[in-house]
Amino acid sequence: MKLLINLVRKDFKRNPAITTALVVFLILAALLMAGGLRVAGTMISAYDQLNQKAIPPEYLQMHKGEYDNEAVGHFAANQDGIQDFLTVEMLTINNASIIYQGETLEKVLMDNSFVVQNVGFDYLLNMDNQVATVKPGEVGVPVYYAEILGIAPGDLITLKKDDYIKDLKVATIIRDAQMNVAMTSSKRFLISPVDQLELSQKMGEWEYSFQFLLKEGVDTGVLEQAYQSANLPANGVAITGSLLNLYNVFSYGLVAMIIVAISLLLIFMAMLCLSYIIRATMAEEQKSVGEMKAIGFPGKSIEILFQMKYLTLMAVAGIIGYLGAIPFGNFFSEAVVRYCGTGSSPGLIWGLPFLGMFFLSGMVAFGCHRVIKKNLNNTVMELLRGSGGRRREGHYTLPSSGFKYPNLTIAIGELGCKWREYGVILVVFVISAFLILLPMNMKNTIQDPSFITYMGVGESDIRIDVHFSQQINQQQDQVLKVLENDPEIEKKAIYKNGYLQAQTKSGEWQSIRVESGDQSVFPLVYLEGSAPIGSNEMALSYMNASELEKKIGDVLTVEYGGETMNYTIAGIYQDITYGGKTAKAAIDYRNEDVEVYILYLSLAEGINIDTKTNELREALPNIKVTPVPSFITQTLGGIVNNLSQVAAAAMAIALMISTLITIMFLKLIMAREHSAIAVKKAIGFTNRDIRIQLAIRILVILCLGIIIGTVLANTLGEAIFSLMLSSMGASRMTLLIQPLKAYLISPLVQLLVVAIAVIGGTKAVKHYHIKEQIIE
Amino acid sequence: MIKVEQISKSFKGNSPVDSAIATSVLNGVSFEIARGDFVAVMGPSGSGKSTLLYSVSGMDRVTEGQVWFDGVSLSEMNEQSLSGFRLNKMGFVFQNAQMLKNLSIFDNLILPGLVAKKEKPQVIRKRAKDLMKRMDIDGLCGRDIREVSGGQLQRASICRAMINNPEVLFLDEPTGALNSEATDQVLDILEDLNGEGMTIMTVTHDLRVALRAKKVIYLRDGAIAGEKELTAGGNREQALDDWLKGV
């Protein structure tokens, strides 16, 4: 051990730049590997524990309006696959009636309902992941609100309608495995049965959720099929457990997933640099290997000695990386922990990073083995001369007309000869540009007003929802009256949404959500085909078209009100709302079958959306009025915020890595080219000239890296983004790029940072004394 | 032409102990080199020969004293001016011919000429060809520096040193890595150049190199132990040998 420590100490003394670079990269790789795995471990463990404790349903059917409780109970009792059944009675209260710290929850676009604790499954948990309980006069508030509004235990929530006022004291913050995240557009408050009864007599509308827990191995599709066929209450969306999972994972798992993905990219980058540095250090070690070989050391012993040296360094880096990963991992797991808890598998959180360190050590040992084995194949003389296995560089030709810009010509010429050496830094710059651009472009895309088209509607400014209630017709009339002759509204359209039964290819029936209204007012861009015209055409969302196996021109048989109709598929569009499964057709819904009337408004030029929203909210107190830009950001919930966080973190990491690697790379290059630098100085090049030449080489590579990174972010990145959203119903995403940010500001920032690194990294040229180098 | 006045040079080591103690390499060295001189600096290993050469040529800074070149103090010039000075007025030849690996031999030769931009590229190219012909290496133009012998490479180094018509040529053990035949070739060339008026200062262990010089400076422990003018004619070898034994 002492011998190894001495060897390492001597390495630092003899070749400080290269050895430092090696150690920095080992630490970086260890930190990223352990950090990424810690985030992944925390995410898996936390999500798993939440689901174990809360036991969310595997299939649920929402319903508004009257229903036959016995029929549902009978259905549940007679289905073989059902393990447990539950009817959750949710008292939906208008956001304008929920007041926190003097402000209504209208700005929050969630649907809020007040429920009592369930029995059997689908529990609402407290922050210790125990089944939450509240006494009369108390309320459990969703963790989502604790996060966005800062609601804390002890605060007061006031419910108010006309003269009725009810104060509820926040007793606990609750985790809801089903509706935790921003992407599920409803949130559940936990209250006592006494309070629920009292409230229901004063305010709110009942909504029901029929929830099913399935026996092991039973497919949700089978239950869905059976439920839809049994003609049971279905005036609302049907949700499968996998969709809930998807929402959850997509929401709070997004940051963790992106961090893990970024870590993987960075680990790849660090491994690449590591292998380069091992090769570089081993090139410097050739003489030592030659000397050992000359005095008869067996090849295996030489290999073990060097491997032990690198593994000693790796052990130090591993410990630092593992310890550093604790705050690093905790920072990026914060959202998961808040929403799901700390989890029940500490082994995953602590063990995965540990395994990562073993894997990394294996990689280092393997890297050394390969390089040393290659070196040992050379003769002693080749090794002593340092010429063993060194790749011969090519030539460049000086211009016959002389130099116009000598430094530029020389730098480009040398770069052409040594381009292989620059492969590593090119990859680093490509990944950096990619890391900076992709999250930024993703965020811009989601924030762009035209993103609404991925939500199944054309661009508009305000959305008004009139949900099913006893007074739905009056409410609709009230809305139309308010909007009538309003000069600030440029155009408007009303859409009725309800559910029909559609026949699948195998002849079975399934419920689909169909929107009926004039599709020409807010035209959508269709993936294929066009908007439905007339009474016999229908447009399907991409996911419905895939699931029903329908193409343009195919006929879909639907059943509504006891009547069977055939619709020709006219268009396919992208939609990420309602699980991605929607349709558009002219359906003459009976009033009681309309789940919701949605009005879209486009405002006249210069009219402020928020001001108009507030005005309409005052005029329509019991109706949900939503500004569309906020609708997008709130529906995609924390994702935009998360993406902003990720974009900032990715940018910081990318710039830090670019700086670090540029400096290290320059140190390596200068160490390897010391004799060329000396020759140049001897024949009259100034320090400045040499620094400029090094800078040009790096900056040319950087520009190339930025170009490749940008192209990749726009192509591969777009594919990744599409893949992320395809499970939600958007198959073909186009990244909406802000050219100023993407093509000017971020490359300039990268250029600036690398330029500063080059200035710092080449400073050492000044201290290169020609004499010492030439004598050496 | 070159006046060296009481120059001293000391180094500090890297270790904590060494950094506190400065090691003196040159101690108050003074001498002059006239235009057209051929000076050989001799001395045992570690006597400070190479340090003296690099200090006189402005490649290294002196700790004390002054080096004057045609009345201009090299010690007071900044790095930028020194680089220009080296490019335009000095030529260098090192023990192991140091050339840029990514250029052919011919391009290595013309590089200082193109950078100096004193003359048109065609003139520089023609001079390079003439010099190569004169050194008998004109067939190596496009060759890689790893494809030629040590002697050929050293002659190419002299060509490169001459490309900007320097006023003085500095050589550090120019024949150290050469066999006898190659050594004779290089020395003939140096003698010819000196005959044409080129000022030369060389550091050497080799008696054969010193024999071609007009003046020999013997350095010991960083100080001049003796100086000898070598006159033409007579038994120069014997004279030099006798002097070296006595110095």
The reply to whether residue A676 touches residue B101, judged by beta carbons under 8 angstroms, is yes
| Chain A residue nearest residue B99, CA to CA | A679
Per-residue 3-state assignment (H helix, E strand, C coil) for A125-140: ECCCCCECCCCCCEEE
DSSP, residue by residue, A291-319: HHHHTT--HHHHHHHHHHHHHHHHHHHHH
Q: How far apart are CA B78 and CA A514, in angstroms?
A: 82
Question: What is the reported pLDDT for A626?
Answer: 85
Q: Which two tokens stand for residue A601?
A: 């408004």
Question: What is the reported pLDDT for A776?
Answer: 43
Q: Are B243 and B79 in contact (CB under 8 A)?
A: no
Q: How many CA atoms lie within 13 A of B193 on its CB side?
A: 28
The reply to whether residue B83 touches residue A686, judged by beta carbons under 8 angstroms, is yes
Chain B positions touching chain A (beta carbons under 8 Å): 14, 50-51, 54, 59-60, 79-80, 83-84, 86-88, 92, 94-95, 98-104, 107, 110-112, 114-117, 120-121, 124-125, 144, 146, 160, 172
Q: Which residues of A touch B121 (CB under 8 A)?
A: 399-402
pLDDT band at A152 (very low <50, low <70, confident <90, very high): very high
**Quick check: A392 pLDDT over 70?**
no
Q: Is A676 on the interface with B (CB under 8 A)?
A: yes
Lowest mean pLDDT among A148-152, A273-277, A430-434, A459-463: A273-277
Query: Rounded mean pLDDT of A622-645?
Result: 74
Q: Give the mutation candidate from A419, A683, A768, A774 for the B interface (greatest B CB count, under 10 A).
A: A683
Q: Which of B59, B104, B144 sits opposite A682 (nearest CB)?
A: B59
Q: Could you state, in order of their start, the residue ranges of all structural domains in chain B?
A: 2-246
Classify A527 as helix, strand or coil: coil
Q: Which of A393, A675, A684 sits opposite B102 (nearest CB)?
A: A393
Counting beta carbons within 10 angstroms of the beta carbon of residue B17, is it exposed (0 to 12), middle (13 to 18) or buried (19 or more)? exposed
The alpha-carbon gap from B235 to the nearest alpha carbon of chain A, in Å, equals: 34
Question: What is the reported pLDDT for A691?
Answer: 94
What letter would DSSP give residue A547?
A: H
Q: Which of A398, A402, A406 sits opposite B107 (nearest CB)?
A: A398
Query: Rounded mean pLDDT of A257-278?
Result: 71
**Lookup result for tokens 């006798």:** B242
Q: Which residues of A touch B100 (CB under 8 A)?
A: 676, 679-680
Q: Is A400 on the interface with B (CB under 8 A)?
A: yes
Q: Are A77 and A231 in contact (CB under 8 A)?
A: no
The alpha-carbon gap from A634 to the nearest alpha carbon of chain B, in Å, equals: 59
Query: Rounded mean pLDDT of A718-744?
Result: 79
**Quick check: B11 pLDDT over 90?**
no
**Quick check: A425 pLDDT over 70?**
yes
| Chain B residue nearest residue A776, CA to CA | B96
Lowest mean pLDDT among A351-355, A449-453, B3-7, B224-228: A449-453
The reply to whether residue B121 touches residue A400, judged by beta carbons under 8 angstroms, is yes
The alpha-carbon gap from B126 to the nearest alpha carbon of chain A, in Å, equals: 12
Question: What is the reported pLDDT for B116?
Answer: 85
For residue range A523-550, list pLDDT tens digits in order: 888 888 998 988 899 999 988 898 889 9
The alpha-carbon gap from A407 to the nearest alpha carbon of chain B, in Å, equals: 9
Q: Give the mutation candidate from B79, B115, B146, B158 for the A interface (greatest A CB count, under 10 A).
A: B115
Q: Which residues of A touch B103 (CB under 8 A)?
A: 395-396, 398, 413
Counting beta carbons within 10 angstroms of the beta carbon of residue A119, is it exposed (0 to 12), middle (13 to 18) or buried (19 or more)? exposed
Rg (CA), chain A: 32
**Quick check: B129 pLDDT over 60?**
yes
Q: Is A398 on the interface with B (CB under 8 A)?
A: yes
Question: What is the reported pLDDT for A142?
Answer: 94
Per-residue 3-state assignment (H helix, E strand, C coil) for A190-250: EECHHHHHHHHHHCCEEEEEEEEEECCCCCHHHHHHHHHHCCCCCCCCEEEHHHHHHHHHH
Q: How far apart are CA A512 and CA A287, in angstroms?
A: 75
Question: What is the reported pLDDT for A664?
Answer: 81
The alpha-carbon gap from B114 to the nearest alpha carbon of chain A, in Å, equals: 6
Q: Which residues of B touch A673 (CB under 8 A)?
A: none
**Quick check: A638 pLDDT over 90?**
no
Residue of A27, A600, A556, A83 lying closest to A322 (CA atoms): A27
The alpha-carbon gap from A765 to the nearest alpha carbon of chain B, in Å, equals: 12
Q: Are A416 and A396 in contact (CB under 8 A)?
A: yes
**What's the whole-number average pLDDT of chain A?**
84
Q: Which residues of B touch A417 (CB under 8 A)?
A: 102
pLDDT band at A657 (very low <50, low <70, confident <90, very high): confident
**Quick check: A158 pLDDT over 90?**
yes
Query: Rounded mean pLDDT of A414-438?
Result: 89
Q: How far apart are CA A543 and CA B182, in angstroms?
A: 83
- Compute how many other C-beta atoms are within 10 angstroms of the C-beta atom of residue A340: 29
For the ranges A44-53, A391-400, B9-18, the maximum mean pLDDT occurs at A44-53
Residues 238-277 of A with CB under 8 A from B: none
The reply to whether residue B79 touches residue A687, judged by beta carbons under 8 angstroms, is yes
The alpha-carbon gap from B131 to the nearest alpha carbon of chain A, in Å, equals: 17
Percentages (nearest 5) of helix, strand, coil residues in chain A:
55, 20, 25
Cβ density class A409-425: b for 16+ within 10 Å, e for less:
bbbebbbebbeebbebb
**Quick check: A557 pLDDT over 80?**
yes
Q: How far apart are CA A268 and CA A435, in angstroms?
A: 13
The alpha-carbon gap from B118 to the nearest alpha carbon of chain A, in Å, equals: 11
The reply to whether residue A676 touches residue B100, judged by beta carbons under 8 angstroms, is yes
Lowest mean pLDDT among A91-95, A124-128, A560-564, A643-647: A643-647
What letter would DSSP give residue A575?
A: B
For residue range A448-469, list pLDDT tens digits in order: 777 777 777 778 899 888 876 6
Q: Which two tokens stand for residue A49?
A: 């524990």
The reply to whether residue A684 touches residue B51, judged by beta carbons under 8 angstroms, is no
Q: Give the mutation candidate from B79, B89, B101 for the A interface (greatest A CB count, under 10 A).
A: B101
The CATH number of the structural domain formed by B2-246 is 3.40.50.300
Residue bearing the bigger pLDDT, A770 or A120 = A120
A596: β partners: A467, A497
Q: Which of A402, A403, A682 sits opposite B86 (nearest CB)?
A: A682
Q: Which residues of B touch A688 (CB under 8 A)?
A: 80
Q: Which residues of B touch A675 (CB under 8 A)?
A: 98
A511: β partners: A501
Residue bearing the bigger pLDDT, A630 or B41 = B41
Q: Which of B60, B116, B125 sits opposite A684 (nearest CB)?
A: B116
Q: Give the mutation candidate from B56, B81, B98 for the A interface (greatest A CB count, under 10 A).
A: B98
**Quick check: A246 pLDDT over 50?**
yes
Classify A420 as helix, strand or coil: helix
Q: Which of A394, A403, A683 sits opposite B87 (nearest CB)?
A: A683
DSSP, residue by residue, B148-202: S-HHHHHHHHHHHHHTT--SEEEEESTTTT--HHHHHHHHHHHHHHHHTT-EEEE
| Chain A residue nearest residue B79, CA to CA | A686
